[in-house]
Amino acid sequence: MAEVYDIIIIGAGPGGLAAGIYASRSKLKTLVIEKGRVGGQAATTEEMENYPGYFSGTTGPELMEKMHQHAQHFGCQFVKDEVVDLELGEFQKTVITKKGRYHAKAVIIGSGAQPRPLGVMGEQELKGKGVSYCATCDADFFEDLDVVVVGNGDAAIEEAIYLTRFAAKVSIIVIHDEGILDATKVIQERALANDKIEFVWNSVLEEIKGDGLVESVLVKNLKTGEVTDLEANGVFIFVGTVPRTQFLQGKVDLDERGYIPTSQLMETSQDGVYAVGDVRQKYLRQVVTAASDGAIAAVAAEKFIHEEENFQTEVLQKEKVAVMFWTPMEQACLDQVPLVEEMAAAGKLDLVKIDTYRNQRIARRYNIEQLPTLLFLEDGAETGRETGPLTREKLQSHF
């Protein structure tokens, strides 16, 4: 029989690793599937000084490796593989990879995002031949050479500063007027004070040129229309990211950009499936927010598994059962519980009470709109329902 995990986590970025820590520490059998380097995009960030507790700075690879070891310490398992499909319709879900099939009661998606290409002429042809999207990965190839950076957000400016450790000169092409950058103030100040950095304002990159390797770029000034041929040995592009959700088409709801909308519990549109980190539709994409997502998703998934296993045992696997959806927060529900309990006992029918204040998910599954509602099931299939006020006359035929 195939091995069944409690939780399978897709992606070992900070969100996936945090989920792995919380899930495995809760004694849930947890597997993380990662196709590439553990740590995701965070593992390609050299300088990191805004993660709580690391005010003197650390590196992305170092922090991610500590998270990796932390998850392993609690028994979280890791496998290197690529997810190509999912079967999510049942309580036991199937994750299909290039190498096999894995089964779990809950799935946490942390597949992250990848750098957005600029889409200019020469970019695709010279990718890996001077065109890069990761300064930490490739900076040492450009020692004492001239490079160009495209972008002006935090990632672009931080990576440009890092490149100055290696390159002779770093030219940053900025679409805005002189002095205007999208990066946070402290990062701007460091870049503006760096002698190796030169800003090319009011401009866009039009073409990357080279015969086998990058040799120069064409830069267009947006105000004058003038196109300049700027000599460069490397081009680093930081213009945002694209979510890795191609394998999720038709599996969970995605927004128009391909990101996954979630609830505050990290729930996707599918029961028992959660999303964390950069793949989520969210306001701030940082290591600290991804880690928070992972912790929330793991706790929510644990609660889902516990509730669903109980519901399977107490309701769906019973020959006949009555399910009362109620809440002790409403007096009308409290007043009607004794009658329902009395009639269920007299009719020798199992009664399961579900507090919708604590378990809204199962109430949504059965479209419960009024409380109290009494549901009657046989072999897991609904055979009838009554909504409040519940009277002896209403319930007589069911019991």
Reference 156, options 142, 170, 167; nearest CA is: 170
Mean pLDDT of 367-372: 93
Q: Say if CB 152 and CB 175 are below 8 A apart.
A: yes
Instruction: Give the model's confidence band at 285: pLDDT under 50 very low, under 70 low, under 90 confident, else very high.
Output: confident
Instruction: Give the model's confidence band at 373: pLDDT under 50 very low, under 70 low, under 90 confident, else very high.
Output: very high
How high is the pLDDT of residue 22?
98
pLDDT at 2 over 80: no
H runs (alpha helix) in the chain: 14-25, 60-73, 135-138, 154-163, 185-192, 287-311, 331-346, 360-365, 392-395
Least confident interval from 19-33, 35-49, 104-118: 35-49
Mean pLDDT of 6-27: 98
d(CA 373, CA 355): 11
pLDDT at 190 over 90: yes
With residues binned 3-state (H G I as helix, E B as strand, rest as coil), the percentages for the chain, rounded to 5, are: 30, 30, 40
Give the list of residues 6+ apart from residue 136 with CB closer than 8 angstroms, or none.
Answer: 44, 45, 46, 60, 61, 159, 162
Instruction: Give the model's confidence band at 394: pLDDT under 50 very low, under 70 low, under 90 confident, else very high.
Output: confident
Q: Give the mean pLDDT of the chain.
A: 94
How high is the pLDDT of residue 49?
80
Instruction: Give the model's confidence band at 347: pLDDT under 50 very low, under 70 low, under 90 confident, else very high.
Output: confident
pLDDT at 262 over 90: yes
As a whole-number percent, the residues of the chain with pLDDT over 90 amount to 83
Q: Which long-range contacts (CB under 8 A, 24 or more apart) does 76-81 make?
A: 76/20, 76/21, 76/23, 76/24, 76/30, 76/31, 76/32, 77/30, 77/31, 77/32, 78/12, 78/31, 78/32, 78/34, 78/38, 79/31, 79/32, 79/33, 79/34, 80/34, 80/35, 81/33, 81/34, 81/35
Instruction: Give the model's confidence band at 1: pLDDT under 50 very low, under 70 low, under 90 confident, else very high.
Output: low
d(CA 224, CA 218): 14
Domains by residue range for the chain, with CATH: 4-114+241-311 (3.50.50.60), 131-237 (3.50.50.60), 318-395 (3.40.30.10)
Instruction: Give the model's confidence band at 174: pLDDT under 50 very low, under 70 low, under 90 confident, else very high.
Output: very high
How high is the pLDDT of residue 167?
97
d(CA 17, CA 281): 19
Catalytic residues: 134, 137-138
53-to-56, 63, 154, 293 alpha-carbon distances in Å:
8, 11, 20, 19
Burial 293-312 (b: 16+ CB within 10 A, else e): bbbbbbbbbbebbeebeebe
Q: Say if CB 214 and CB 148 are below 8 A apart.
A: no
d(CA 232, CA 216): 5
Instruction: Give the model's confidence band at 47: pLDDT under 50 very low, under 70 low, under 90 confident, else very high.
Output: confident
pLDDT at 358 over 90: no
Mean pLDDT of 24-44: 94
